[in-house]
Structure 1
Amino acid sequence: MSQIAASRSRPRRTIARRQATSGWLYALPTLVIVLLLFVWPLVLVLRMSGSDWPLLGGNQGLNFPDNYQKAVSNRFFVDSVVFTLKYTILATVLLVGLGLGLALLVQESTRWKGLLRTSFLVPSALGLASASLLFYVLYSPLAGPAAPLMNRLGWTFLGSPSAALWSTLFLIVWRYAGFYMLLMLVGLQAIPTEVFEAARTDGASRRQTFRHVTIPLLRPTLALTTVLCVTGSLLAFEQFYILTKGGPDNSTITVVQLIYSVAFQGQNDLGVAAALSVLVLLALIVVNAVQLRAFRRPDES
């Protein structure tokens, strides 16, 4: 009997081994891509951050922690961090709030539902760099459609720090509101209709249903959209690089712009730029961990 059982177990082990091998073969291309495009660049950045590495000179040797000291002592470091945080808070509030509002609007079955969804989603098909160039022309005091009025009033969309910030935020909301609306809409449609019917049966008003039913059940979607929005805002680069170039008076320099400037303009120091990149990576990890913990359900450990 033992020989029969052993002979039966061999084919099972062979099949399991073949399945495991096939699984590794299917996963191998993805593993290679991750190693080449994520792990190796991350290792290289970590190495650069602890080395004297000029743009055209290559690795000149270890100098840890000098690059980090130079990074935090850069004259634009504090201002760029403050501005990036300010932009991130405003962009997150606007995009998540407006995305939820638009999702609630198009969720209702009306004759205009299809048209509204399409209209809100169309800007999402345009690349951010292309959208920034489009708005750069629209905001232009020379060629923009509002140029005569701006010249008459002596005002420009990008002429002051506050105007530049809000003009850029308008671009970002126009570009991404439809995308966040779609994410919110998926989350809303995943909520069972029986829950809303039960709330109405219990006499809950629309406001009470939204506060005590919709928002708690939408928590995973809110966590996803908030993490995406905060991460994208902290890494903002194209919109400010194209629209403002960090101006006026260096008032709209983001952290990523500072990294680009240190690496390829002025200092041409890849080591200091890598140190700034590592600091940004650590900040993203901490911020995302805090966000995910904040959106965790009370009953989750």
Structure 2
Amino acid sequence: MTIAAVAPVAGATRRRSKAHQWKGLLYIAPAMVLVLVFFVLPVLFTVWMSFHNWPLMGQPKWIGLRNYSRMLSDTRFLSAIGFTAFYTVIVTVAIFALAFPLALFVERERRGVGVYRSIFFLPVVVGLATASLLWTWLANVDSGLFSPALRALGLTEHSINLLATFEGAFTTIVVMVVWKIVGFTMILLLTGLQAIPSDLTEAARIDGAGRWQRFRHLTLPLMRRTLALALILSITGSVLAFDQFYIMTSGGPQNSMISVVYYIFNQSFVSFHLGYGAALSIVLLIALVALSVAQLWLLRVEDER
């Protein structure tokens, strides 16, 4: 075939390729509009607000970076960061300590395994606000079930208000969140376990590798991608914690359970420091983006190896 004959064919191929590209852009255009209207523009407006003293009523006043510099000396904000970090570590460790054994348990084919999976996953479908209200009732000293159960087990001699002290309220909230989230993390880990080729596991067993050796040198390395995803989702969800503290304790007792998002809520919609609340939101967004970048870095390192 001559060059003169090939050129029209190549031109037609390029035209078809461009047509497919434009069709693809046309299909994703509605989603792009939604992202632009409901995410990009609000974020840009929040950035603009963060450079102003923005009262609820009256004219906003440009103050530059003063809202951001204010955070460095805001002891309540720093305390909220410390509490959120502490809560994130405790919840993440507790979730993984339960989710991994549960995933290993339901990964094996046995009688009734589908029922077990459904039971473990069932709390996930309950909304967090609904779960918070449910556990608030369960922890109620007068009408709840936890206080009579503790007395029946001989752990306490009298009725106890679990939400009246920091230790009791924090433990109750952590247990509630783990009960609510562990099923979702279990499913994520289960998909990672099921993606491991059975031939590799069988070959390691034939070579004499014990259960712990197979778990350490085969299961964990092959599940690195799944573990990174589950870890980032758990940390991100914990950093954004708000509903459980607002509903169950209202930040108490004595404002000892104020998370970062709860503090932003108070500054923006209780004290009406909208500019400062916007600056706090941007800082939180940057922190979450950093977590996402860390996830991508973990996945990139795995691919390179």
Q: Which TM-score applies when normalising by structure 1? A: 0.92
Alignment of 1:219-234 (within 5 A): 219-234=224-239
Q: In the TM superposition, what are the counterparts of 1:208-223 in structure 2 within 5 Å? A: 208-223=213-228
Cα RMSD of the aligned pairs, angstroms, is: 2.1
Letter in 2 for 1:26: Y
Residue 14 of structure 2 corresponds to 13
Match of 2:280 among 257, 262, 276: 276
Aligned residue number for residue 46 of structure 2:
45
Q: 3-state DSSP class of the match of 1:76? A: helix
The 3 A distance-change label for structure 1 pair 146 and 11 is closer
Aligned to 1:60: 60
Letter in 2 for 1:182: I
In structure 1, runs of 5+ residues without a counterpart are none
| Alpha-carbon offset, residue 298 of structure 1 | 6.3
**Alpha-carbon displacement from aligned partner over 1:202-260 (angstroms, at most 9, x marks no partner):** 10110111111100111000000000000010010001110111000111100000000
Alignment CA distance shift 1:14-1:240 (3 Å): same
Q: TM-score, normalised by structure 2?
A: 0.91
1:1-301 aligned at under 5 Å gives the runs 3-57=4-58, 60-148=60-148, 153-265=158-270, 267-290=271-294, 292-293=296-297, 297=301, 300=304
Give the aligned residue type for 1:225. A
Once residues 206 and 14 of structure 2 are traced to their aligned partners in structure 1, the CA distance between those partners, rounded to angstroms, is 57
Q: Return the offset for 1:281.
A: 1.6
CA distance in 2, matches of 1:83, 1:219: 29
Aligned-pair distance for 1:3? 4.9
Measured after TM superposition, the shift of residue 296 of structure 1 is 5.7
Between the two proteins, the alignment pairs up a number of residues equal to 299
Structure 2 unaligned blocks of 5 or more: none
Moved over 6 A (4+): none
AA matched with 2:243: E
Q: Distance in 2 between matches of 1:3 and 1:288?
A: 51
- Identity in percent: 40
Cα distance in 2 for partners of 1:287, 1:162 equals: 29
CA distance in 2, matches of 1:5, 1:111: 63
1:203, 1:48 → 2: CA distance?
63
